[in-house]
């Protein structure tokens, strides 16, 4: 098994972190800003030095390309994103891009050529911090979002993606949606599971299903001092009981079921008025589609029953639904073979966060490699990954991608 040059990869990560640093050791490179441009230019320069050609597609996704021996073969693609949150970390996204570069550099060191071409993708606006939706570049590339709709998205000051592409010099002309042999994305976990288990590498088997509900509960607003308790229709006490029941629901689907009530709004709230209208959100997640369906059904039943007991009016609507995304068995096996061959501790894991790989999984055989991040912390300036884990994850990426790129039958 080949190993990457751990110092070179770490040095590149720290060099990239010098582009638009924040006070507390993070980065601010909002998508298609001049800072993002500077990060991309640094990366593109490194790719050219490594003998790769660089091209840009119509939504600004950047691809660095290393030819293969077989002129007919489709590329094996690595990658992630270089844009960050306003107070983002040094590893989220950047790791997957620079680990891809290190794979190419390491193959170059030994003059190793592959049958299939290799590419490194930098997807546009993964974070969703400047333009909504997140993962915009990979969504447009894979046809999950129309190009026109992607170009029309605008930031808080009214600048559209199309304008930002022009200004940053990344309005490319390469076609969207060309076929890939496979896509491998290395990423920090952005959660605490691997660290908690003391495991350096996560073999990612897919992305979990997500169901977002909007709930509105209507009671009767009335005077807090004159209305006896049995005669009230208090929307908030009803909602409190609903939220407690939703936490219980998570227990019933433990450990894979996740339930979050992240927003709650009491209409015209006042300390001496019985709340008459409350809106709240529910975020349900599970790694199986059958289970997310059961969670949604149970959640709705529980909410209805509490509303009926209390004589409250209830409206529940689905705001958004994203089914589970199983990754490709052959790609997962390539990662498993690599990590076992290297002798590193590892475990299977399902991605809790959204990633470009979730869109790519609907386009070509796809998987991901996770490494731990300290304290599970991400989208935070203090985000940190340990050098040893950084190296191990890239070793796994190298061997999985190399094996895939030699295997002509795919």
> Shortest approach of Zn ion to residue 60 CB, angstroms?
17
- 8-state DSSP, 174: B
Nearer to Zn ion, 93 or 150 (CB): 93
Nearer to Zn ion, 81 or 363 (CB): 81
Stretch that binds Zn ion, among 24-32, 34-42, 85-93, 323-331 (CB under 5 A): 85-93
> Shortest approach of Zn ion to residue 300 CB, angstroms?
32
Nearest CA among 62, 74, 80 for reference residue 117 = 74
Task: Work out whether 372 is an interface residue with Zn ion (CB under 5 A).
Answer: no
Residues 143-162: x where in contact with Zn ion by CB under 5 A, - otherwise, as a string: --------------------
3-class DSSP assignment, residue 22: coil
> Shortest approach of Zn ion to residue 249 CB, angstroms?
29
Task: Work out whether 354 is an interface residue with Zn ion (CB under 5 A).
Answer: no
Element (H, E) at 292: helix 289-310
Q: For the chain, what's the residue count?
A: 410
How far is 67 from 401, CA to CA, in rounded Å?
A: 14
Nearest CA among 404, 332, 337, 326 for reference residue 74 = 404
Stretch that binds Zn ion, among 84-92, 232-240, 305-313, 385-393 (CB under 5 A): 84-92
Q: Which residue is nearest to Zn ion (CB)?
A: 93
Buried b (16+ CB within 10 A) or exposed e, 355-371: bbbbbbbebbbbbbbbb
Task: Work out whether 83 is an interface residue with Zn ion (CB under 5 A).
Answer: no
Task: Work out whether 189 is an interface residue with Zn ion (CB under 5 A).
Answer: no
Task: Work out whether 356 is an interface residue with Zn ion (CB under 5 A).
Answer: no
- 60, 93, 206, 365: residue in contact with Zn ion (rule CB under 5 A): 93
> Shortest approach of Zn ion to residue 358 CB, angstroms?
11
Evaluate whether 73 touches 408 at the Cβ level (below 8 Å): yes
Evaluate whether 361 touches 308 at the Cβ level (below 8 Å): no
Task: Work out whether 68 is an interface residue with Zn ion (CB under 5 A).
Answer: no
Nearer to Zn ion, 93 or 219 (CB): 93
Nearer to Zn ion, 215 or 357 (CB): 357
Stretch that binds Zn ion, among 44-52, 90-98, 161-169, 177-185 (CB under 5 A): 90-98
Nearest CA among 150, 126, 108 for reference residue 39 = 126
- 92, 181, 185, 234: residue in contact with Zn ion (rule CB under 5 A): 92
> Shortest approach of Zn ion to residue 62 CB, angstroms?
16
How far is 107 from 114, CA to CA, in rounded Å?
A: 9
Burial class, 184, CB count within 10 angstroms (exposed 0-12 / middle 13-18 / buried 19+): buried
> Shortest approach of Zn ion to residue 278 CB, angstroms?
34
Task: Work out whether 26 is an interface residue with Zn ion (CB under 5 A).
Answer: no
Task: Work out whether 389 is an interface residue with Zn ion (CB under 5 A).
Answer: no
How far is 21 from 217, CA to CA, in rounded Å?
A: 45
Nearest CA among 316, 405, 395, 295 for reference residue 73 = 405
Stretch that binds Zn ion, among 25-33, 86-94, 165-173, 310-318 (CB under 5 A): 86-94
- 8-state DSSP, 388: H
Nearer to Zn ion, 128 or 341 (CB): 128
Considering CB under 5 A, how many residues would be counted as binding Zn ion? 2
State the alpha helices, DSSP H only, in 60-204: 94-109, 136-141, 147-152, 161-168, 193-197
> Shortest approach of Zn ion to residue 81 CB, angstroms?
6
Name the token pair of 96: 């997957």
* Interacting residues toward Zn ion by CB under 5 A: 92-93
């Amino acid at each position: 098994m080949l190993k990457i040059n751990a110092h070179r990869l770490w040095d590149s990560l720290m060099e990239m972190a010098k582009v638009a640093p924040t006070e507390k050791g993070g980065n601010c490179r909002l998508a298609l800003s001049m800072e993002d441009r500077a990060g991309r230019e640094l990366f593109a320069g490194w790719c050219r030095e490594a003998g790769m050609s660089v091209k840009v597609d119509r939504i600004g996704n950047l691809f660095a390309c290393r030819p293969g021996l077989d002129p007919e073969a489709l590329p094996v693609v690595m990658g992630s994103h270089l844009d960050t949150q306003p107070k983002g970390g040094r590893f989220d996204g950047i790791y997957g891009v620079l680990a891809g570069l290190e794979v190419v550099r390491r193959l170059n060191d030994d003059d190793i050529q592959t049958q299939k071409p290799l590419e490194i993708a930098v997807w546009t606006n993964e974070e969703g911090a400047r333009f909504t939706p997140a993962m915009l570049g990979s969504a447009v590339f894979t046809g999950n979002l129309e190009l026109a709709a992607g170009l029309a998205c605008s930031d808080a000051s009214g600048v559209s993606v199309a304008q930002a592409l022009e200004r940053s010099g990344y309005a490319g002309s390469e076609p969207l949606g060309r076929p890939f042999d496979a896509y491998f994305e290395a990423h920090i976990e952005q959660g605490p599971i691997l660290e908690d288990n003391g495991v350096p590498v996560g073999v990612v088997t897919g992305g979990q299903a997500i169901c977002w509900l909007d709930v509105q509960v209507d009671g009767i607003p009335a005077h807090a001092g004159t209305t006896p308790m049995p005669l009230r229709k208090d929307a908030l006490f009803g909602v409190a009981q609903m939220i407690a029941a939703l936490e219980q629901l998570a227990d019933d689907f433990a450990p894979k079921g996740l339930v979050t009530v992240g927003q709650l709004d009491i209409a015209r709230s006042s300390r001496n008025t019985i709340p008459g209208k409350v809106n709240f959100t529910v975020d349900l997640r599970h790694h199986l589609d059958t289970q997310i369906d059961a969670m949604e059904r149970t959640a709705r039943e529980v909410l209805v029953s509490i509303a009926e007991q209390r004589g409250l009016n209830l409206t529940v609507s689905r705001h958004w639904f994203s089914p589970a995304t199983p990754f490709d068995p052959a790609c997962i096996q390539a990662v498993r073979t690599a990590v076992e061959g290297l002798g590193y501790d590892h475990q299977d894991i399902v991605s809790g966060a959204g990633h470009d790989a979730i869109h790519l999984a609907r386009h070509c055989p796809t998987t991901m490699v996770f490494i731990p991040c300290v304290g599970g912390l991400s989208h935070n300036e203090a985000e940190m990954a340990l050098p040893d884990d950084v190296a191990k994850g890239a070793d796994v990426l190298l061997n999985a991608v190399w094996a895939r790129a030699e295997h002509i039958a795919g």
